[in-house]
Amino acid sequence: MKKTAFLFPGQGSQSIGMGLDFHQEYDFVREIFDMAEEITHINLSKLCFKGPMEDLIMTVNLQPAVTAVNLACLAAIEKEDLKADFCAGHSLGEYSALCSAGVISKEDTVKLVFKRGELMHRESTKYKGAMHAVVGLPIEDVEALVAEVQKDGVISVANHNAEKQIVITGAPDSVNRVSSLAAEKGAKSIPLKVSGAWHSELIRRAQDEFRNFLEGFSFNSPDSAIVFNVTADNENNPDEIKSIMERQLCSPVKWYDSMKKLIEENVEVFVEIGPGRVLTGLLKKILPGDYQGNVYNVSNMKQLEKFLNENK
């Protein structure tokens, strides 16, 4: 098999019906949902397959729901004895990447994302936050605007998703001000439908508490390389991986740099494993026009069959 990277989506990729055909097809997928529902005491299969969307998108529900679908799609691939050379996940999706690389079990993956969702939801009810996507400016320009406004309020870069697609996060007034300044420089600013200021200082207390929760889990050395959000680089030491995952809550997601790292490693096959096409869309903006690589989605049976037919 060609040099392959598995990519796992996070919040924002959800849709009603996600994971349904895998759930209908495979006993082991039903077992994954049963396990996740036993841990969370949430009817995740009903939320994923029937909604309603307003309940699904609540962070405390959404994090284990998307993760269950990611793990279901991954299990369908692993049934064919396919493994990745590299893994990466976007924010929440990084926990699925840890599972794919053998760092944590499926059960611990669900336990961690469920606690993460609970803590983030709690902080979002205490501190009103906002997130906007700024499109059309390079990261250096957005960082300069953030630094200018940071003196008066909480504001930071949440995600560097593509070369000129950057998400800012923080207090609503500060986010609006940076958006206005970016618009003056010719950028487009798009408010995101989120319930909190993820990857900002407004959820710092969640990160501090999550650090203590993480201590109760054993991490293994990865059996495939993981490119991490916080560093846009690999790490093999389990203790350092645990530290990275704790810092991830308030640190920027360096997705653009992570994908550039995979390009430098000459990855030939990129597979988005889980609901939606968010990461595929970003990757097609990042890959050079002459890059010799193929991009796949695996979120349903039809897509799985296409991927397998072309890569086995």
Question: Which positions are annotated as active-site residues?
Answer: 91, 199
What number of helices (H) and strands (E) belong to the chain? 14, 9
Q: Which tokens go with 32? A: 């994954």
**How many Å from the N-terminal Cα to the C-terminal Cα in the chain?**
7
Torsion on CA atoms 269, 76, 277, 114, rounded to nearest 10:
-120
Is the dihedral angle over the CA atoms 70, 73, 78, 83 positive or is it negative? negative
What residue type is assigned to position 248 of the chain? Q
∠ at Cα 95 (91, 100), nearest 5°? Answer: 130
| 81 close to 221: Cβ distance less than 8 angstroms | no
52 upstream amide cis, omega within 30 of 0: yes
| Residue among 195, 126, 134, 201 nearest 164 (CA) | 134
